[in-house]
């Protein structure tokens, strides 16, 4: 059966798996997982050890460089092997095989698990409190297990090709934050001295995490947690193409501030998700028990994410009244500022963020909404 465009031919995969298992392997069916370069591949073989299906990820052809760069699959391969073989933690799919040039990966099929975000969209957050708790614990567990192991990970990653560990730690968002500051100034809310000083200090915290340096998959969102629809047992994290060591609390932002898929995520301090995450994190990073240090790092990470999203202002300003992306930006800024207020830190930077949100509410009256109204904006309300 024909494979989706861009993946090595079915016969190439069959030959690869036949050599791996020393038994004839036939590809029975491809199930392309749109829109990603991912497929569930049904197999037939007389080999007893062969799974009935695997997941194949590949480098697609004809797309922008970020989607075709081979380093993405190399990074995922290194991260998954590091977590399974070096640390022995059962949080991720197992790597079955990879071709010599990392053009495709063959991974354990985690079905019948499904992405948490699908369940949240279908049933609402109130129906999946246990799943959200599993999500919070998985994020904390990944950081707790990997703190202090950066050298081992990067040795494995470097063996597959060049890697810039410093860039992973600093992050890839600095240019976006600079653009956001320019947008704020154009809106009449320039970054003043005290707020600028706090922003520089917050970025310094994220750039130099100290004991909070841990592995992130680079996309800490609910779509990248797979769990059984009937319960949260044996949940797994997926999608490590952008993995790297960074400040652990950047992986907690998704619990406090809406990501690209959501208008709201609720208040994790009242739902208990914040405690679930923090207790799990502290098992590997004891400094997470320090209220001041933890709160400062978390606020810095949330406010940084708010600025990353603000860089989209020029695009959102062209969209029609009522577009959810406008609601989402204001909700994001509000949530980031509220997190800093909860931990009583970065007051001047928080005030600046609030002022930007107020100006946007006036500029976009359709987006001047009360996001604390749980009837209209329940936790994990999807953005359309």
Q: Are 17 and 50 in contact (CB under 8 A)?
A: yes
Residue 17 to residue 246: CA distance in whole angstroms: 35
Task: Report how many domains make up the chain.
Answer: 2
Q: What six digits make up the tokens of 361?
A: 């509410």
Q: Do 231 and 281 reside in the same domain of the chain?
A: yes
Residue 380 forms part of a structural domain: no
- Are 87 and 199 members of one domain? no
Helix and strand numbers (H, E) in the chain are 16, 10
Per-residue pLDDT of the chain (384 residues; tens, 9 = 90+): 455 555 556 777 788 888 877 788 888 888 888 888 888 989 887 766 778 899 998 877 655 555 557 888 999 999 999 999 999 999 999 999 887 665 789 999 999 999 999 999 999 999 999 999 999 999 999 999 999 999 999 999 999 999 999 888 877 677 788 999 999 999 999 999 999 999 999 999 999 999 999 999 999 999 999 999 888 889 999 999 999 999 999 999 999 999 999 999 999 999 999 999 999 999 999 999 999 999 999 999 999 999 999 999 999 999 999 999 999 999 999 999 999 999 999 999 999 999 999 999 999 999 999 998 888 999 999 998
Are 102 and 133 in the same domain?
Answer: no
User: Is 60 in the same domain as 143?
Assistant: no
Cβ density class 320-335: b for 16+ within 10 Å, e for less: eeebebbbbbbbbbbb
In a domain, 49, yes or no: yes
User: How far is residue 247's CA from residue 216's CA, in Å, rounded to a whole number?
Assistant: 8
CA atoms of 204 and 264, how far apart (whole Å): 28
Cα-based distances in Å from 319 to 119, 306, 351: 29, 20, 27
Boundaries of domain holding 72: 10-108
Same domain, 60 and 85: yes
Indicate if 178 and 280 belong to the same structural domain.
yes
Whether residue 125 sits in one domain with residue 28: no
Q: Is residue 4 part of a domain?
A: no
Q: What is 99-138 written as a DSSP string?
A: -TT-SEEEEE--TT-EEHHHHHHHH-GGGGHHHHHHHHHH
Do residue 67 and residue 18 come from a single domain?
Answer: yes
Helix (H, G, I), strand (E, B) or coil at 28: strand
Task: Name the helix (H) or strand (E) containing 45.
Answer: strand 38-45
Q: Is 39 exposed, middle or buried (0-12, 13-18, 19+ CB in 10 A)?
A: buried
Please indicate, yes or no, whether residues 215 and 82 belong to a single structural domain of this protein. Answer: no
**Domain stops at, among 46, 76, 108:** 108
Q: CB–CB of 107/95 below 8 Å?
A: yes
Supply 109's token pair: 């099929």
Q: What is the CATH number of the domain that holds 232?
A: 3.90.1200.10
**Whether residue 263 sits in one domain with residue 170:** yes
The burial of 11, by beta-carbon neighbours within 10 Å (0-12 exposed, 13-18 middle, 19 or more buried), is given as exposed
CATH of the domain at 24: 3.30.200.20
Among the three residues 88, 108, 128, which one is the final residue of a domain in this structure? 108
Indicate the burial class of 129 (C-beta count within 10 angstroms; 0-12, 13-18, 19 or more). Answer: middle
What is the number of alpha carbons within 13 Å of residue 91 lying toward its C-beta?
29
- Together in a domain, 205 and 243: yes
Q: Is residue 222 part of a domain?
A: yes
Domain-embedded: residue 377 = no
Residue 139, in any domain of the structure: yes
Helix (H) or strand (E) holding 342: helix 324-342
**Does 337 lie in the same domain as 206?**
yes
């Amino acid at each position: 059966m024909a494979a989706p465009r861009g993946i090595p031919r079915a016969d190439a995969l069959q030959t690869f798996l036949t050599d791996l298992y020393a038994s004839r392997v036939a590809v029975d069916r491809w199930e392309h997982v749109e829109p990603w370069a991912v497929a569930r591949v049904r197999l037939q073989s007389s080999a007893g050890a062969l799974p009935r299906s695997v997941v194949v990820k590949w480098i697609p052809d004809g797309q922008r460089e970020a989607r075709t760069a081979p380093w993405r699959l190399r990074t995922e391969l290194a991260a998954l092997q590091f977590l399974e073989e070096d640390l022995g933690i059962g949080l991720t799919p197992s790597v079955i095989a990879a071709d010599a040039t990392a053009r495709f990966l063959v991974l354990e099929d985690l079905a019948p698990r499904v992405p948490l975000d699908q369940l949240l969209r279908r049933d609402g957050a109130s129906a999946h409190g246990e799943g959200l708790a599993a999500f919070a614990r998985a994020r904390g567990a990944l950081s707790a297990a990997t703190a202090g192991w950066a050298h081992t990970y990067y040795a494995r990653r470097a063996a597959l090709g060049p890697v810039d560990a410093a860039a992973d730690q600093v992050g890839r968002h600095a240019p976006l934050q600079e653009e956001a500051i320019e947008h704020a100034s154009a809106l009449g809310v320039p970054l003043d001295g005290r707020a600028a000083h706090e922003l520089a200090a917050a970025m310094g915290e994220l750039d130099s995490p100290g004991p909070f340096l841990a592995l992130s998959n680079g996309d800490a969102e609910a779509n990248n947690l797979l769990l059984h629809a009937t319960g949260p047992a044996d949940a797994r994290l997926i999608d490590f193409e952008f993995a790297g060591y960074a400040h652990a609390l950047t992986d907690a932002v998704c619990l406090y501030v809406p990501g690209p898929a959501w208008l709201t995520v609720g208040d994790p301090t009242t739902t208990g998700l914040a405690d679930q995450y923090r207790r799990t994190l502290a098992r590997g990073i004891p400094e997470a028990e320090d209220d001041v240090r933890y709160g400062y790092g978390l606020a810095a990470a949330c406010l940084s994410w708010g600025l990353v999203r603000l860089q989209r202002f020029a695009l959102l300003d062209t969209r029609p009244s009522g577009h959810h992306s406008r609601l989402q930006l204001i909700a994001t800024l509000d949530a980031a500022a509220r997190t800093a207020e909860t931990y009583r830190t970065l007051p001047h930077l928080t005030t600046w963020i609030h002022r930007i949100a107020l100006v946007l509410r006036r500029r976009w009256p359709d987006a001047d909404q009360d996001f604390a109204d749980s009837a209209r904006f329940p936790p994990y309300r999807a953005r359309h």
